[in-house]
Amino acid sequence: MTFLLLWASTLFAQTAKFTASVSKNEVGTEEQFQIDFSVNGNMEGFNPPNFNGFEVLSGPNESTSMTSINGSTTVSTSVSYILMPVKEGEFTIGPATATINGRRSGTNPIKIKVVKGRPVPQNSQAQTGPDNALSQASAAELSKSIFIKAVVDKSNVYQGEQLTLNYRLYTRVDIEQSQVDNLPDLNGFWNEDIKNLQQTTHWRVENYNGVNYHVADIKQSILFPEHAGNLTIDPLGMTFVVRVQAQARDIMDQFFGAYKDEKVKVKSSPLVVHVKPLPEGGKPDSFTGAVGSFKIDASVDKTEVKANDALNYKVKVAGSGNIKLLKTLNTAFPTDFEKYDPKITDSVTDAESGVSGSRYYNYLLIPRHQGEYTIDGLKFSYFNPATARYVTLTTKPLHIKVDKGTAESNVTAFSDAEKQDIKTLGKDIRYIKTEDTALNKPGDEFFGSFAYYALLFVGPVFCYGAFTYRNRLRKINSDIVQVKSRRAGKIAAKHMANAQKQLLANNQKAFYEDVFKGLYGYLSDKLNIQYANLNRETIASALKARHANEQVINQLLGTLDLCEMARYAPVTHISQQEVFEKAKGIIQDIENEI
C-alpha cells in the first residue's frame, strides 16, 4: 500500500510545486521508509525539517532531472531521506523550506503513524508512480476475505497414529499471485505430503460463518506424531497479491471500475494436537512401534533347496498406518542360515484417508548345511488405535528341507575353513545347583569337629598300636628257647598226626615209634633239653622243676615205657587207640600247665 500524501494543487506543470511525500504514512518500528521533497524547478537553499522521533539512515540525497516535451523544458529536483522511526506514536514531520524561482516556499507537514512491529505490507508497484490505484482497504477487512485455516481430522491421537492435516485457503477476492513465506516445520511429526503447493488447486464453494468462500486445499499432509505430549502444528504463511475494488477517483474509474492490487500476508493459526503415549500395559515383546491396522504374511519361494543355494523369504505387511516407519522384523532364522539384510519394497498410497498399502521384506537366506530346518513363525505386533489394544500376529512356521549341496566340493579353501567359531548368542548366569545339595547348620563344619579329630587320629593310633605290637613280637622271637617251647606243641601235633596214620594203616611198630618220637621231640623242645640227654630221670626232674603235676609225670613216664617196650615186643594189655589218646592227653596237659 502506498499513499501519495500530498498534491499541493492540480495546477499546471510550469507552476513551481514544492511537495513532500513519504513512501508510507503508517510504518512499524524499525522499518525504513523514504521521504521525498520534490519541486519542478530549481531549488536553492533547501532547509530540511526537524526529523524528531526518526533516525536518518541516509540523506539528503539530491537528484535533478530534466525533461523536454514539445520544446518546453522542465526541470525537477528532489531531496530524499531514508528514515527509521525510533518509537511508537504519531509524529508530524514539519515543513521543509527552500527558495524556488526566487520565492521562499515550504512543504506541508506530514503525519506519520508508527506502530509496533512490522506494518501491513505494501504493494511495491504502487511506489513507482502516482498513477497507480491506491489501496485503502483496512487489513482487518481483508483478513476476513482471505485466510488460511489449518484443519486436522483428529486432534486427539496416539503416538504413531496417523492424522491428516489440511491447510485450507478461504477467499472471497481474486488472487493475482501467491507466494509461500514459510512452510511449517512440523516438528515432532513424521509427515507424508499428499498434495503440495505446486499442484493445481481445485476450488469449491463453502459456507463459512454465513459467508460463501472459494475454498481450496493448498497443502495436505499425513502426520505421524513421533512422541507423546501436546504437539503444535506450525502455521503456514503465504503472501497473496489480490485485486480489490477501489474507490473511483475519476470518471474513467467510475466507468471501468477501479481496481487495485494489494499484497496480503496470510498466516494460519497454530494448532495443537494432543498425543497420548502408547499404553505400557500389555505391550508385547515383539512390538516395535507399528500403529494402525495390519495384516502379515510370510512365504518362501522354495521349501526344498540344496545347501549353499539361495532362498527367498518374503514377508508382506499390509494395512494402513505408519507403514513406512516399520522397523526390521524380529525374524528367527535357524542360526546355521546365512542371512542378509532384507530388501524392502513399499507400495504405499497416500490419500486423505491416510497412508495404506503394503511393505515387502525380502530376506535372502543361504542354508549352509543339509538338514531339516524350521523357520519359526514371525511375530508382528501393532497397536490398533481404534480399539486401543495391541494386536500380535504370528505367521505360520515354514519347513525347509536342505539337501546336500554340490558347492561344498568346489570350495577351494584350507581344510580348517570348514570349521567355524561357535557363535555366542547371549550371556547369562550359570544355572542353579540341583545336585550336591547337602545342607548344614552353620558352625557344623566337618573340619574342626570332634568326628574330624577322631578320624584324623585313627591312623596314628593304629600306627602306634602296630609299632608296639611289632616290638613285642621281635622281643618274643629273639628268645629261641621260648620259641622252641611255644612251637613244641605244633611239632608234637605233627608226629601225632603221623602216628594216627600208622594206627589206621595198622602198622603197630611204626605207630609206637611215631608216638615215642612225638613225645620225646615235644619234651626236648618244651623243656629245652638236648634230644640225646633225654631219659626218664632228666624228664622227671625237669618237669618237677617246672612244677608239673605228679600224676601227669607218672602218666608220661608210663606211656614212654610202654612205647619203648612196644618197639621190641607186642603189647596186648592196652590198645593202640588208647595209647594214642593217652599221649595226646599228656601233651595237652603239659601244654596247659607249663
Partner 1 sequence: MKFNRIKRLLLLAVCLVLPMLSFGAGKANELFAKGNALYAKGQYEQALNAYRQVINEGYQSAALYFNMGNASFKNDDLASAILYYEKAHKLAPGDDDINFNIRFANSKTTDKIDEVPEFFLARWWKAFILAFSTGTLAMLSIIFVLIGSAMLVLYFFANSISIKKASFYISVSLLCLGVFAIFVAVMQIDYFNNRRQAIVFSGSATIKSAPADRSASLFVIHDGAKVNILDESNGWMKIRLANGNVGWIKDADVKEI
Question: Could you give the angle at the alpha carbon of 488 between the alpha carbons of 487 and 492, nearest 5°?
Answer: 120
Which one among 198, 434, 478, 506 touches partner 1, defined by CB under 8 A?
434
DSSP string, 5-69: ---S----TTS--EEEEES-SEEETT--EEEEEEESS-EEEEE----TTEEEEEEEEEEEEEEEE
Give 103 or 430: the residue with its C-beta nearer to partner 1: 430
Give 413 or 438: the residue with its C-beta nearer to partner 1: 438
**Residue 443: helix, strand or coil by DSSP?**
coil
Strand order in the sheet with 304-306: 304-306, 398-403, 371-375
Residues 179-208 that bind partner 1 (CB under 8 A): none
Interacting span for partner 1 (CB under 8 A) from 117-125, 276-284, 435-443, 583-591: 435-443
7 binds partner 1 (CB under 8 A): no
Report the Cα 81 to chain-centroid distance in Å.
66
Three cell numbers at 528? 629245652
- Residue 362 near residue 318 (C-beta atoms within 8 A): no
Report the Cα 193 to chain-centroid distance in Å.
31
Which one among 103, 430, 547, 573 touches partner 1, defined by CB under 8 A?
430
- Residue 120 near residue 140 (C-beta atoms within 8 A): no
CA neighbours within 13 Å on the CB side: how many for 542? 19
Give 203 or 452: the residue with its C-beta nearer to partner 1: 452
442 binds partner 1 (CB under 8 A): yes
Give 302 or 470: the residue with its C-beta nearer to partner 1: 470
Which one among 432, 480, 504, 569 touches partner 1, defined by CB under 8 A?
432
For the bound state, the minimum distance from the C-beta of residue 478 to partner 1, rounded and expressed in Å, comes to 16
CA neighbours within 13 Å on the CB side: how many for 507? 11
Give 310 or 461: the residue with its C-beta nearer to partner 1: 461
Size of the site for partner 1 (CB under 8 A): 38
Give 45 or 448: the residue with its C-beta nearer to partner 1: 448
Which one among 327, 444, 506, 530 touches partner 1, defined by CB under 8 A?
444
- Residue 138 near residue 202 (C-beta atoms within 8 A): no
For the bound state, the minimum distance from the C-beta of residue 280 to partner 1, rounded and expressed in Å, comes to 17
What's the rounded Cα separation, in Å, for the pair 306 and 288?
A: 34
For the bound state, the minimum distance from the C-beta of residue 474 to partner 1, rounded and expressed in Å, comes to 10
386 binds partner 1 (CB under 8 A): no
**Residue 560: helix, strand or coil by DSSP?**
helix
Give the contact letters, 390-429, x = binds to partner 1 (CB under 8 A), - = no: -------------------------------------xxx
DSSP 8-state secondary structure symbol assigned to residue 559: H
Give the contact letters, 216-255, x = binds to partner 1 (CB under 8 A), - = no: ----------------------------------------
Give 344 or 456: the residue with its C-beta nearer to partner 1: 456
- Is the N-terminal amide bond of 60 cis, ω within 30° of 0? yes
Distance separating the N- and C-terminal Cα atoms of the chain: 159
* Torsions phi, psi for 461 (to 5 deg): -65, -45
| Sign of the CA dihedral with 242 first, then 247, 252, and 256 last | positive
Which one among 202, 419, 441, 547 touches partner 1, defined by CB under 8 A?
441
Going by C-alpha positions, the residue among 467, 526, 522 that lies closest to residue 475 is 467
Q: Which amino acid is at 28?
A: G
Which one among 338, 445, 479, 550 touches partner 1, defined by CB under 8 A?
445
Q: Which amino acid is at 537?
A: E
Give 202 or 427: the residue with its C-beta nearer to partner 1: 427
Give 464 or 531: the residue with its C-beta nearer to partner 1: 464
Give the contact letters, 447-486, x = binds to partner 1 (CB under 8 A), - = no: xxxxxx-xxx-xxxxxx-xxx-xx----------------
Q: What residues make contact with partner 1 under the rule CB under 8 A?
A: 427-434, 436-442, 444-452, 454-456, 458-463, 465-467, 469-470
